[in-house]
Structure formats: structure tokens, C-alpha cells
């Protein structure tokens, strides 16, 4: 059964063992995610099963300038899914999909006003993967 843990429940050794195949994301998870949490910049959510880190994603608040002339607000509130990674040993097994669905679920259930989920896709492969999920489920998302 998959558990959703906060980063402070994941040991430094477990973070160091994580390997998604992208050194930038590996380094972020091991070295910088905790710093971002301490600074209030992002929250890292980790999927764990039987003590193994399957993957993680980060969520942050985000504002975009409103283009809606009918609203008195200059900005619209949303959430940024800034980083998402799946350990190599669990890739192509639906974990990435699970991470995105969990992020969307949490955003939709947020107790604060949230108008959109912004995903920063780092390459076309990731962009196409997310677009396919979104079109399948008609969830409002901005890439």
C-alpha cells in the first residue's frame, strides 16, 4: 500500500538512494527540497511503498495576471507543480500518473481558493504525458 509522506519523514539516506535518471531532479530531492520547505517555497510530497521511495512532487503557490476584465482582481491564485520524479525502478508502472492524480486531488480539495494547477513540463515527453492525462480526465491545468 502506498503511503504519502512529508519530506521530513524521509531519511537523508533514502533521499540519496533515489534515482529517477535525471541528475538535476535527484540533486533537488537530496540537497534542495528540504531547504525549499524551510524557506516556505515548496512542499515536497513523497510516495513510499514498503519503505521504498517511489517518487515525489512539489507544490507551491502561484499567481498569474488576470486577463478577465470582469474581475476586480489583478491576479488569480493557483498552484505550481514544479517538480515531479519517479525512481527508475518504478518507471512505466503508473507511478507518474499516480503522482499527478494525487497532486490534482490535493489542489481540488484545497481549503483555500485555487483557480488552476500550473505544470512546468521540462521537456516535450513530459508535456505530452501530462496533456494526455488531462485530456482524459478534463481537469483544468496549464502547461
pLDDT in tens, 78-125: 899 999 999 999 999 999 999 998 998 988 888 888 888 888 777 777
Is the per-residue pLDDT at 52 higher than 60? yes
Mean pLDDT computed over every residue of the chain: 87
Is the per-residue pLDDT at 137 higher than 60? no
pLDDT of residue 134: 63
- Residue 54 burial (CB < 10 Å; 0-12/13-18/19+)? buried
Specify the CATH number for 3-137; select among 1.10.1300.10, 3.40.630.30, 3.50.50.60, 4.10.640.10.
3.40.630.30
Indicate the pTM of the whole model.
0.86
Amino acid at each position: 500500500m502506498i503511503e504519502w509522506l512529508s519530506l521530513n519523514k524521509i531519511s537523508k539516506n533514502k533521499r540519496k538512494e533515489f534515482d529517477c535518471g535525471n541528475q538535476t531532479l535527484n540533486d533537488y530531492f537530496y540537497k534542495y527540497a528540504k531547504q525549499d520547505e524551510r524557506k516556505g517555497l515548496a512542499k515536497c510530497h513523497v510516495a513510499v511503498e514498503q519503505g521504498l521511495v517511489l517518487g515525489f512532487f512539489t507544490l507551491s503557490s502561484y499567481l498569474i495576471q488576470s486577463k478577465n476584465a470582469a474581475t476586480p482582481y489583478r491576479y488569480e491564485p493557483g498552484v505550481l507543480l514544479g517538480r515531479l520524479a519517479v525512481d527508475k525502478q518504478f518507471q512505466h508502472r503508473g507511478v507518474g500518473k499516480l503522482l499527478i492524480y494525487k497532486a490534482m486531488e490535493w489542489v481540488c480539495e484545497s481549503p483555500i481558493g485555487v483557480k488552476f494547477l500550473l505544470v512546468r513540463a521540462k521537456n516535450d515527453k513530459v508535456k505530452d504525458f501530462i496533456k494526455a492525462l488531462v485530456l482524459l480526465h478534463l481537469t483544468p491545468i496549464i502547461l
